[in-house]
Structure 1
Amino acid sequence: MLRTDLGVDLDLLVVLVAALWGAATGALLPRAAYRFSVPSGEAWRDRCPREHPVRGWLGRARCGQCAGGEPSFASRAADEAVYGPRAADEAVYGHRAASLALVTALVCAALAAATGTRPELAVWLLLAPVGVLLAAVDLKVRRLPDPLTLPLAGAALALLGLTALLPEHAGEWTTALLGALALGAGYLVLFLINPAGMGFGDVKLALTAGAVLGWYGWPTLMLGTFAGFLLGAFYGGALLVARRAGRKTAIPFGPFLIAGAFLGVLAGAYAA
């Protein structure tokens, strides 16, 4: 157990800082989640449900113009039907900042607890908010936006490449690169076999998952991949039991791919 000169547990301090980072970055995600949450083929949103302009990508999903004026009965009814009565009252048009902040804080704290003070923790903390954002969007509209998935894969490999140059790192950049290619190729095969069951956005996201899992080696890659499919199977089975879906109902797989990668990284970091 590492301690600072002041007697503070350094590992605990790292976890607390990571949680604060997660809370701060997660609170900035609602506006981006709202703007990206459109069906495939449609342009990103640039207006709130009452047609006021939405500027920027980071911040709360709340319209100041809606909050400053009394909405019409029809507009209010439409907002309540889509976002709930509280959203109509408070001019909130997307995810609550508190919910995304909490999820991101928990994810970042868990990563810090598993990784400790090793330099790859910085990479995990930079990637985690984007993973939460992707999961939120995919759950909403079953879409993984290209402006997030493709740059994320490149950023993961570039950041891990820099991390490999630092002392005390616990992974290998070569296996991260090969893991990205292997998992991306595997998902591509699944997409070609059954395009209705696997979206091409999942293929692109698999590049990032393969990179972060491959950093800790092939066993971690296999564990994280299996965990993703297992979580997706449990979710689909639960929907079938609850009669909320049929055998041919498509489900968003991105959140389970991300969750599997998260669990795999936790296991790999603890074992490293």
Structure 2
Amino acid sequence: MLLLWMLLAAGFGLAAGVLLPRAVYRFSVGPEEPWRDRCPAGHPLPGPAGGWLGRAYCAGCPGPYGPRARWFAVAGAVVCGTLAAVVGPRPELAVWLVAVPAGLVLAAVDRAVNRLPDVLTLPLAGGVTALLGVAALLPGAEGSWPRAVLGGVVLAGVFGVLFLIQPNGMGFGDVKLALALGVALGWYGWGVLLVGAFLGFALCAVYGTVLVLRGRADGGTALAFGPFLVLGALAGVLLGGMWV
């Protein structure tokens, strides 16, 4: 039965990943720029959800543009399959699976343009909070919804203080993303919240150190924090799923 859950979850992640590159391409613009609605050659973007979902490919152009779908498909399948293997058929698994595509898009966009769009971070926080509230009412759930909500407030508050202290070291988008990740991590406990947040900082620090040692960055280089926050939260949720 667990193998079936893993295969179903991996299939969902694979299918979702194939549809994400178009959204990443459209969101990967500067703070003052409108979302892209055309390919690099100027052709309109047709497709599902008003052209937001699909491969970064245009029939009128010689080849694909933007990120490759295969990387998102592989990442989605691996992450969703791993979540299913660790969490099992508990109600909160559905919440984690739904959150994976948004996390992949946010990580990719932040890596591309150092931006975490509000139209993704805020609905993600609201969606995770609401869905976990539903999961908490179902039999078999292994978490606390009140603690999850408080965890989101606490982590976002901590990040907000860090942003006020050093706005050049952390963007306000990271604060909004921390709200959703804090809810997810807080579901399994305060220890999980601390571990997930710490891993996000640690992974970013290791990556920055490697770049400096290779001469590709210095102390003033701005790094996208979002991908490491997402990775840290994923690791925390996996650990929480194993501990409960």
> TM-score, normalised on structure 1?
0.87
Structure 1 residues 9-46: Cα deviation after superposition (integer angstroms, max 9, x where no partner): x1111111110000000100010000000111211111
Q: Distance in 2 between matches of 1:196 and 1:52?
A: 37
Superposed displacement of residue 66, structure 1: 1.4
**Which residue identity does 1:193 align to in structure 2?**
I
Alignment of 1:1-272 (within 5 A): 10-55=1-46, 56-67=51-62, 90=63, 92-272=64-244
Partner SS for 2:138: coil
Kindly state the Cα deviation for residue 93 of structure 1 after the two structures are TM-superposed: 1.2
How far does residue 52 in structure 1 lie from its aligned partner after superposition?
Answer: 1.0
Could you tell me how far apart the structure 2 residues matched to 1:39 and 1:257 are?
21
* Fraction of identical pairs, as percent: 57
CA distance in 2: counterparts of 1:96 and 1:229, whole angstroms: 28
Q: 2: CA distance between counterparts of 1:104 and 1:140?
A: 19
CA shift at 1:232, angstroms?
0.5
Cα RMSD for the two superposed structures: 0.7
Secondary structure at 1:65's aligned position in 2? Answer: coil
Counting matched residue pairs gives 240
- For 1:118, the aligned partner's letter is R
TM-score (norm 2): 0.97
* 1:163-185 deviation line (CA, Å, top 9, x unaligned): 00000100000110000000000
Q: CA–CA distance in 2 between the matches of 1:131 and 1:62?
A: 22
SS in 2 for 1:250: coil
Alpha-carbon distance in 1 for matches of 2:199, 2:91: 25
**Aligned-pair CA distance for 1:248:** 1.2
Shift of residue 100, structure 1, vs aligned partner: 0.6
Which secondary structure state, in structure 1, belongs to the residue aligned with residue 131 of structure 2? helix
Counterparts of 2:104 and 2:77, CA distance in 1: 10
Q: C-alpha separation between the residues in 2 aligned to 1:66 and 1:268?
A: 46
Query: For 1:213 and 1:114, how far apart are their aligned partners in 2?
Result: 15
**Mapped partners of 2:127, 2:211: distance in 1:** 35
Quick check: which has more Rg, 1 or 2?
1
Gaps of 5+ in 1: 1-9, 68-89
Comparing 52-61 with 204-213, greater Cα deviation is found at 52-61
Paired amino acid for 1:230: A
Which 4+ stretches in 1 moved above 6 angstroms?
Answer: none
CA distance in 1: counterparts of 2:65 and 2:75, whole angstroms: 19
Structure 2 unaligned regions, length at least 5: none
